């Protein structure tokens, strides 16, 4: 049987425990763009967070008691960042090429019309930012998250980077609509301002509502952040930025060690393999895996028109702008290798001949790292314990059946997590397990079930109830499918944000059954009206 390496995610949303986070405000052309990014995006660590005078080294109870009830005593600071990394001396805001700097000062332009807060994360506000939820109801907060107000101490910055886009060097890129303005996560505001968009690049230009989403991440530095400096021979600045990133985000690497860039590269290779394996494990397609969209911290940032694969298909492409299907879900692991090679090329000017040879060996180890992580994740999805030689074939066999029957990826694994072994043994698939029932139509399904049940018997000290508990903890019942987002957008355009908030609530706990989500059909087959939904780089 041919084994295919390449298909779909979920460690994309990592819980943030650090007090230092970078706020990125992005002007979006529509509610759909803003909402999708707020749900899935990673986050950053640039300005220092100081809130209400609290000390993040204090224990939780003491910090909790000091939640700020207003923004009057809540400050941001970009000092640590711009003290080390140079800022473009030109202060005017216009499109231009810049050199010998990492950032440009760029103040956001506020909406002209009324703005409304659509969704906010209580957990982020209170657990990370030390702000009481009531703050989100104030005018100051609305002005902050919509770009109208800049908190004292914050210097809004646009980041300069380059990148390989669809395999071709695109030279200087950098943030245009995005500003590094402060600290926060999962906040979405909309206005009545209209923005012209050509969603599918077909000349069908139409107006859509403007929106802004604020995102948080430990860092927004990406492979392209280094590529642009290497490309223009700004090697001193390249070394400065690398040392800053290592000191801030790679504590296991000694910034004074001569081999620090090798150690850094080794970690990035390993963590990138892990990230893409996680993407694959939940059927997530990034959409535009350009080097300017690939994080140096291996977190999910700046994804394009992403999509969660519905019917299992290694050739699934969420982005109709990707004519060559370069970023199809089954090619993401290979693209990871391509992007890491571009990272190595950016590092090469700082490496001696011996280090270059070692770095090539590190990169050559990526495929094994990736497949090892991929295999481990899928064995967990099937509830397998221990190691057996036949495990990879068992996984490949199931995926083959799913591909041939066009079974729903997410719900097939979820329903395997919920069905009993006795039901499988009898090949009695109740109608409620609709995705699994689709797979069962293949003539080889009984053979797979026989192999699977035999393998489960080799699980030591296991029970069927424990298997199901274990599997439901790693196989989500809900993922953000395009039709769900489209449904929320259609309501939001009528100023009904109820489904936006429902999705936010459900997707915070995707492994738990949610009555309102069930009623909305989030675990049901895709409705017929949504079968032809498409997104592009301009969606």
| Catalytic positions, written as ranges | 292
| One-letter-per-residue 3-state SS of 103-166 | EEECCCCCCCCCEEEEECCHHHHHHHCCECHHHHHCHHHHHHHCCCCCCCCCCCEEECCCCEEC
Measured distance CA(302)–CA(51) in Å, rounded:
27
What are residue 263's phi and psi, to 5 degrees?
-65, -40
Which residues, at least 6 apart from 193, have a Cβ–Cβ distance to it below 8 Å? 111, 112, 113, 209, 210
Q: At what angle do helices 464-472 and 366-381 cross, to 10 degrees?
A: 130
Measured distance CA(341)–CA(364) in Å, rounded:
10
What are the percentages of helix, strand and coil residues in the chain, rounded to 5? 40, 15, 45
Which DSSP symbol is given to 530? Answer: G
Tokens describing residue 139: 């005018």
Q: Angle at CA 489, nearest 5°, toward 433 and 290?
A: 85
Which DSSP symbol is given to 47? Answer: S
Q: Which of 467, 158, 157, 435 is CA-nearest to residue 312?
A: 435
């Amino acid at each position: 049987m041919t084994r295919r390496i390449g298909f779909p995610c979920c460690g994309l949303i990592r819980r943030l425990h650090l007090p230092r986070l970078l706020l990125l405000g992005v002007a979006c052309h529509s509610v759909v763009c803003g909402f999708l990014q707020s749900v899935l995006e990673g986050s950053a660590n640039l300005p220092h967070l100081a809130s209400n005078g609290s000390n993040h080294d204090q224990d939780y109870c003491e910090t909790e008691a000091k939640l700020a009830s207003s923004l009057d005593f809540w400050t941001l600071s970009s000092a640590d960042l711009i003290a080390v990394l140079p800022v473009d001396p030109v202060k005017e805001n216009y499109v231009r090429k810049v050199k010998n700097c990492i950032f440009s000062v760029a103040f956001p332009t506020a909406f002209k019309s009324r703005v409304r807060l659509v969704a906010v994360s209580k957990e982020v506000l209170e657990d990370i930012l030390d702000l009481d939820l009531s703050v989100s109801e104030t005018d100051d907060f609305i002005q902050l998250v919509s770009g109208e107000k800049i908190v004292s101490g914050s210097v809004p910055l646009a980041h300069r980077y380059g990148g390989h886009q669809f395999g071709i060097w695109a030279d200087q890129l950098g943030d245009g609509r995005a500003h590094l303005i402060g600290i926060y996560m999962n906040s979405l505001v909309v206005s009545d301002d209209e923005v012209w968009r050509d969603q599918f690049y077909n000349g069908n230009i139409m107006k859509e509502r403007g929106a802004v989403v604020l995102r948080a991440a430990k860092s927004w530095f990406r492979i392209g952040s280094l590529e642009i400096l290497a490309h223009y021979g700004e090697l001193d600045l390249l070394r400065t930025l690398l040392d800053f990133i290592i000191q801030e985000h790679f504590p296991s690497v000694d910034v004074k060690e001569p081999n620090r860039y090798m150690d850094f590269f080794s970690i990035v290779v390993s963590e990138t393999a892990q990230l893409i394996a996680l993407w694959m494990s939940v059927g997530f397609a990034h959409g535009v895996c350009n080097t300017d969209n690939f994080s140096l911290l291996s977190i999910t940032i700046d994804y394009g028109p992403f999509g969660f694969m519905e019917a299992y298909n290694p050739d699934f492409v969420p982005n109709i702008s990707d004519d060559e299907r370069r970023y199809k879900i089954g090619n993401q692991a290979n693209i990871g290798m391509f992007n890491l090679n571009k990272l190595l090329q950016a590092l090469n000017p700082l490496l001696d001949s011996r280090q270059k040879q070692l770095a090539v060996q590190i990169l050559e180890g990526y495929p094994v790292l990736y497949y090892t992580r991929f295999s481990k994740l899928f064995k967990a999805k099937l509830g397998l314990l221990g190691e057996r030689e036949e495990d990879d074939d068992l996984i490949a066999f199931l995926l083959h059946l799913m591909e041939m029957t066009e079974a729903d990826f997410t719900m097939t694994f979820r329903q395997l997590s919920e069905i009993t072994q006795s039901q499988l043994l009898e090949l009695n698939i109740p109608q409620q397990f609709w995705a699994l029932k689709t797979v069962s139509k293949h003539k080889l399904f009984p053979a797979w079930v026989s192999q699977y049940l035999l393998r489960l018997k080799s699980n030591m000290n296991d029970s069927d109830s424990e298997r199901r508990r274990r599997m439901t903890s790693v196989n989500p019942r809900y993922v953000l499918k395009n039709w769900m987002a489209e449904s929320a957008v259609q309501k939001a355009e009528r100023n009904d944000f109820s489904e936006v908030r429902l999705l936010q609530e459900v997707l915070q706990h995707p492994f738990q059954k949610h009555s309102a989500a069930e009623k909305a059909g989030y675990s049901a087959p895709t409705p017929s009206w949504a079968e032809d939904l498409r997104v592009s780089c301009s969606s």
